[in-house]
């Protein structure tokens, strides 16, 4: 077993059982309901409760992780004596990115004989989860610290991200669509289909009428991207829309019967607070990100 650590953020939207089973330390984002703040525990129970709350009108808000919290986290990891690879959301999606780098610069000076590598993953949510999964798999197969980093840097932009949301009001609240667009979209039953290009930003690729059309658009996007399905791991995250996730899984396996594991997981609360119940996402490997 390699003697370095791969650490991640809770925004990888993997279940907590994964982090425990593979000994991946996690820094946990937080969310608030009113004046009460909670740590993202990455459990199905917390995620399901959050989406049930949101459907009843409860507002969840999120906050960045400050540099002192990152510093404590990195210091604890480096004190174990090995090198550390840390994987978090794309810098374009989180203001915490700069705080993590500020902390890393300070802490690295305290451990001059060790390396702390923060990758700009250009990934979010389950895309980040897929990157974490693949890096961990390579570490466990015996790759060195440098080999895992090299693989991650060479392949991170091959991780495809495709999303659809059900309620434009959440994107409006986060400033991703205007008030007018959200209102008109709601009246016309417009469903945006989104992807993440190379810059790591969440971007609209097309707008369709109705949920069924949006689900078909997700599958069509996969069909444009998928070049080497044999044995691939695919991650589907859903925000309280399990039936749609199962439909997408069945369509994927029908189109690509040689796929490896197709995982269905609850979407994490941090991403979900900005996109709302009904978000459906799919993450997989391709050759090049495109709309």
Q: What is the pLDDT along the chain (291 residues), one digit of tens a residue?
A: 458 999 999 999 999 999 999 999 999 999 999 999 999 999 999 999 999 999 999 999 998 999 999 999 999 999 999 999 999 999 888 888 999 999 999 999 999 999 999 999 999 999 999 999 999 999 999 999 999 999 999 999 999 999 998 875 655 455 544 443 433 444 347 888 999 999 998 888 898 999 999 999 999 999 999 999 999 999 999 999 999 999 999 999 999 999 999 999 999 999 999 889 999 999 999 999 999
Q: CA-CA distance, 21 to 18, in Å (whole number)?
A: 5
| pLDDT digits 0-9 by tens, 91-112 | 888 888 999 999 999 999 999 9
Q: Which of 111, 104, 47 is nearest to 78 (CA)?
A: 111
- The residue ranges of DSSP E strands in 46-175, in sequence order, are 60-63, 84-87, 116-119, 159-164
Tokens of 281: 């996402």
Q: Do 86 and 117 contact (CB within 8 A), yes or no? A: yes
Question: For the purposes of burial, counting CB atoms within 10 Å of the CB of 281, is it exposed (0-12), middle (13-18) or buried (19 or more)?
Answer: buried
**Cα–Cα distances in Å, from 220 out to 31, 224, 238, 252?**
34, 6, 18, 10
Q: CA-CA distance, 266 to 42, in Å (whole number)?
A: 9
Tokens of 11: 């925004």
Q: Do 281 and 125 contact (CB within 8 A), yes or no? A: yes
Structural domains of the chain sorted by starting position, each given as residue range(s) with its CATH number in brackets: 5-156 (3.40.50.10170), 158-285 (3.30.1180.10)
Q: Which of 270, 268, 251, 239 is nearest to 166 (CA)?
A: 239
Please give the model's pTM, rounded to 2 decimal places. 0.93
Q: CA-CA distance, 134 to 67, in Å (whole number)?
A: 27
Q: Which of 166, 154, 150, 96 is nearest to 124 (CA)?
A: 96
Q: CA-CA distance, 5 to 16, in Å (whole number)?
A: 17
Q: Do 107 and 71 contact (CB within 8 A), yes or no? A: yes
Q: Which of 25, 52, 279, 67 is nearest to 165 (CA)?
A: 279
């Amino acid at each position: 077993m390699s003697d370095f650590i791969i650490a991640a953020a809770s925004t990888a939207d993997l279940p907590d059982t994964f982090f425990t089973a593979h000994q991946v330390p996690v820094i946990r984002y937080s969310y608030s309901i009113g004046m009460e703040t909670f740590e993202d525990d990455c459990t199905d129970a917390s995620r399901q409760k959050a989406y049930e709350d949101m459907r009843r009108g409860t507002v969840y808000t999120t906050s960045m992780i400050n540099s002192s919290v990152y510093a404590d986290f990195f210091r604890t990891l480096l004190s174990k004596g090995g090198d550390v690879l840390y994987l978090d959301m794309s810098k374009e999606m989180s203001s915490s990115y700069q705080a993590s780098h500020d902390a890393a610069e300070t802490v690295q000076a305290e451990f001059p004989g060790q390396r702390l590598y923060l990758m700009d993953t250009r990934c979010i949510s389950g895309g980040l989860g897929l990157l974490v999964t693949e890096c961990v798999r390579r570490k466990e197969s015996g790759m060195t610290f440098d080999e895992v980093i090299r693989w991650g840097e060479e392949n991170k932009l091959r991780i495809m991200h495709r999303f659809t949301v059900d309620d434009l009001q959440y994107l409006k609240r986060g400033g991703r669509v205007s008030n007018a667009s959200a209102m008109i979209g709601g009246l016309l039953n417009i469903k945006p289909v989104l992807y993440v290009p190379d810059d790591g930003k969440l971007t609209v690729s097309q707008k369709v009428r109705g949920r069924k059309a949006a689900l078909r658009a997700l599958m069509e996007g996969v069909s444009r991207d998928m070049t080497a399905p044999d044995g691939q791991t695919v991650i589907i995250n859903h925000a309280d829309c399990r039936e749609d996730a199962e439909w997408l899984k069945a369509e994927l396996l029908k189109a690509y019967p040689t796929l490896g594991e197709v995982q269905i997981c609850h979407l994490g609360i941090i991403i979900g607070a900005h996109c709302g119940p009904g978000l459906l996402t799919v993450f997989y490997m391709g050759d090049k990100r495109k709309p």
